[in-house]
Structure 1
Amino acid sequence: MASNSLAQDLDDILVRTYDLWDELRSQRIFITGGTGFFGCWLLESLIWANDKLGLNAEVVVLTRNYDAFRNKAPHLANHPSIQFIIGDVTSFNFPEGNFSYVIHAATEASAKLNEENPLLMFDTIVQGTRHTLEFAKLCQAKKFLLTSSGAVYGKQPSALTHIPEDYIGAPDPTHAPSAYGEGKRAAEMLCTLYGKQYGFEVKIARCFAFVGPYLPLDTHFAIGNFIRDGLQGGPILVNGDGTPYRSYLYAADLAVWLWTILLKGRSCYPYNVGSEEDMTIANLAYIVAKAFSEAIEIKISQSPIPGSNPSRYVPSTKRALTELNLQSRVNLADAIKRTIIWKYSSSGSK
């Protein structure tokens, strides 16, 4: 069973997606990246619906490290409806049989890897996507979901407050750290080509920034680092001047959006996935600090450069709202509090 701190979220997801699940009745689903942040929420919500509605769906999950996942989420690792295969996304052995749905959520958004070995980052995204598409072709998938990224747009113009799907900007191909964004662009192209040539629907979710249970608290995600700092009693350290603008969608909302895009979205037609509630990183630090009962100090390491335009990474989600009726239901303050509560409950802290 999911922890008590997740049960309310999973019930809410089920209510909001209730009309979707019949399509998955007695179906087989294959998921890459199923043990990461996105994958855990996809599995939690799928298994919750499977058990509550008697869907009799089966899911096969590709993982590089089953033992680590079993330690993190034993109720998922041991669930009878989930099977695991061990392998790398670029070379895994294809499981036997047909799968109606393939979800490709692999490839960590690792700033460290993108900085230290951008070629490996690019190759992993592109080769992993092509290998998974080859499997989708072989297993006669009907629908394929790619979790892409807002990084495909390149640097967001400071005058563009919320970036829409029809923005035609791109990462700088002569800048090595563009490997992640360029890799995702190539992945979208591969998905489009395979879908059109082999006759399956391709759904593209361009994902921005998120918060919620299972979010790593020790990587490059600012909100995760701030929550970690708060859990340790502070101070919350802001690397940089705190002026960049970001927005964060709660993980339960994310799960609703991804399932809806997979099952109801238009093929070869990207949807931004994220929140339009923008704020500076400095303001984010203050919101995180206020979520704790004790006073938490905030340290901003640099001063803003006079006259400079702050960077932005904030989506327009009008397409998702108007076409799929997708909305952000959990505000950021509540999202942070729920993440903290889950972290306390999952670690046994009091």
Structure 2
Amino acid sequence: MTKAENIDLSLLTNQRIFITGGTGFVGKNLLKFLIVHAITPKQVTVLTRNAQKFKQKHPELCSQEWLDFEQADIRNLEWNNQKYDYFIHAATSVVDQSESETLFDEVVNGTKQALLFAKQAGVKSFINLSSGAVYQLNQNQIGLTEDSPLVTKLDNSKNTYALAKISSEHLAYLASYNSGMKVTTLRCFCFAGAYLEASHFAIGEFIKKALSNQEIVVQAGGGIYRSYLAAADLARQIFEVLIISTIRASNYEVYNLGSDDAISLPELAHKVVGVLGSESNVTTPNITSPNINYYVPNVNKLRVSLDNAIKSLDAIIVETADYYQNLSSLSR
């Protein structure tokens, strides 16, 4: 692909974009990015089950003239007879895995409907957000590449999400092969920043507790690694890929999306406390556990094409903390 430094994101101006999962963490940060950078598409349509609820909860994202909503379940999405230039399928990037059959149906059939919609709408570039969860457990302290082994064990309900995402990736490939539409799968890893739900992710929980000087108990051992990309960098890179993919030679590509700056969860807890100047005590009862899970991507393939300037982990922690504090002050 062409280097993103040569691509002006204002090329999104006067373009029509459809976003599924637009009311989730990724979608909200995509909208925020457009607003903050004063990018004015002709139209951005966000798929949601309840547009009114989203407008009431996030008025800061809903005052743009270019924004409208399509109200439907992703599994029942039908073409709205409008033409679009770009499509970002961000639905179910992170979901509750308690109902395995429902989950599989939502991911696979949701992707199928999104791809069909995009083809009917004349979309030139389609982004399919997948997950790093598609990879097998990584017990080597080496970043996962796009060619690393994928989950294959079928008789385990804990693999439902991963297997559904793998199936959706294959559907995305078939759509590019059969239609000529440029399709890109981005395997998402860990992120932090605005709109991150603290209760679902380690970094959010650590920051929340550090802000109130509560004790942080890290159950993970010293061999459990993560890495974090800022929400704003996540949004920027998605838009960069969206644009650049229209001029690449291949119809389909897969990239890891995240940071390769690894940190163990015990180290992360200590870093959060230090960066925020918190008085929280960090306890690590399982620090010597021999278990290793290096959930960190190798992003060299994407780095060749994109702007490499990303925020540091310290900056990400501060920005996420600021977001939580602003939320707290608004709720008073």
Query: What's the TM-score, normalizing by structure 2?
Result: 0.90
Find out whether 1:63 has 2:78 as its counterpart.
Answer: no
Q: Distance in 2 between matches of 1:145 and 1:333?
A: 29
Q: Which residue number in structure 1 is paired with residue 19 of structure 2? A: 31
Instruction: Look up the SS of the partner of 1:304 in the other structure.
Output: coil
Q: Which residue number in structure 1 is paired with residue 218 of structure 2? A: 238
Higher mean C-alpha deviation, range 146-155 or range 164-173: 164-173
Shift in alpha-carbon separation, 1:192–1:108, aligned structure 2, 3 A: closer
Q: Which residue number in structure 2 is paired with residue 99 of structure 1? A: 84
1:128-143 to structure 2, matched below 5 A, reads 128-143=110-125
The answer to whether the 8 Å contact 1:150/1:206 transfers is yes
The answer to whether the 8 Å contact 1:154/1:181 transfers is no
Matched positions, count: 324
| Greater relative contact order structure (CA < 8 Å, 6+ sep) | 2
1:11-22 to structure 2, matched below 5 A, reads 19-22=7-10
TM-superposition CA deviations, 1:30-89 (whole Å, max 9, x none): 00001111101111122344xx35x45210000123344224421212322100122211
Q: Which residue number in structure 2 is paired with residue 201 of structure 1? A: 182
User: Structure 1 runs of 4+ off > 6 angstroms?
Assistant: none
The answer to whether the 8 Å contact 1:100/1:142 transfers is yes
Q: Which residue number in structure 2 is paired with residue 166 of structure 1? A: 147
CA positional deviation for 1:242: 4.8
Instruction: Look up the SS of the partner of 2:74 in the other structure.
Output: coil
TM-superposition CA deviations, 1:288-340 (whole Å, max 9, x none): 112323311123354533xx341110100111112x13425211011101111
The answer to whether the 8 Å contact 1:320/1:326 transfers is no
The sequence identity of aligned pairs, in percent, is 32
Instruction: Look up the SS of the partner of 1:283 in the other structure.
Output: helix
C-alpha RMSD of matched pairs (Å): 2.2
Q: Distance in 1 between matches of 2:77 and 2:306?
A: 36
Which of residues 283, 288, 291 is equivalent to 1:299? 283
Unaligned residue ranges in structure 1 (runs of 5+): 1-15
CA positional deviation for 1:184: 1.0
Shift in alpha-carbon separation, 1:171–1:333, aligned structure 2, 3 A: farther
Q: Distance in 2 between matches of 1:321 and 1:87?
A: 36
Matched residue type, 1:284: L
TM-superposition CA deviations, 1:206-265 (whole Å, max 9, x none): 11101111111122x111111222233311232333530111111111112111111114
Shift in alpha-carbon separation, 1:87–1:206, aligned structure 2, 3 A: same
Matched residue type, 2:135: Y
The answer to whether the 8 Å contact 1:171/1:181 transfers is no
Shift in alpha-carbon separation, 1:44–1:17, aligned structure 2, 3 A: farther
Find out whether 1:73 has 2:51 as its counterpart.
Answer: no
Q: Distance in 1 between matches of 2:56 and 2:276?
A: 27
Matched residue type, 1:174: D
Find out whether 1:288 has 2:272 as its counterpart.
Answer: yes
TM-superposition CA deviations, 1:168-226 (whole Å, max 9, x none): 3334222211111111111111011011111211011111101111111122x111111
1:88-237 to structure 2, matched below 5 A, reads 88-110=73-95, 113-114=96-97, 116-156=98-138, 158-219=139-200, 221-237=201-217
Instruction: Look up the SS of the partner of 1:348 in the other structure.
Output: helix
Q: Distance in 1 between matches of 2:206 and 2:152?
A: 28
Matched residue type, 1:243: G
The answer to whether the 8 Å contact 1:29/1:60 transfers is yes
Unaligned residue ranges in structure 2 (runs of 5+): none
Q: Distance in 1 between matches of 2:8 and 2:185?
A: 18
The answer to whether the 8 Å contact 2:229/2:258 transfers is yes
The answer to whether the 8 Å contact 1:17/1:256 transfers is no
Q: Which residue number in structure 1 is paired with residue 231 of structure 2? A: 251
Q: Distance in 1 between matches of 2:151 and 2:278?
A: 43
Shift in alpha-carbon separation, 1:293–1:82, aligned structure 2, 3 A: same
Matched residue type, 2:164: G
Find out whether 1:341 has 2:325 as its counterpart.
Answer: no
Q: Which residue number in structure 2 is paired with residue 11 of structure 1? A: none
Q: Which residue number in structure 1 is paired with residue 258 of structure 2? A: 274
Higher mean C-alpha deviation, range 340-349 or range 176-185: 340-349
Q: Which residue number in structure 2 is paired with residue 40 of structure 1? A: 28
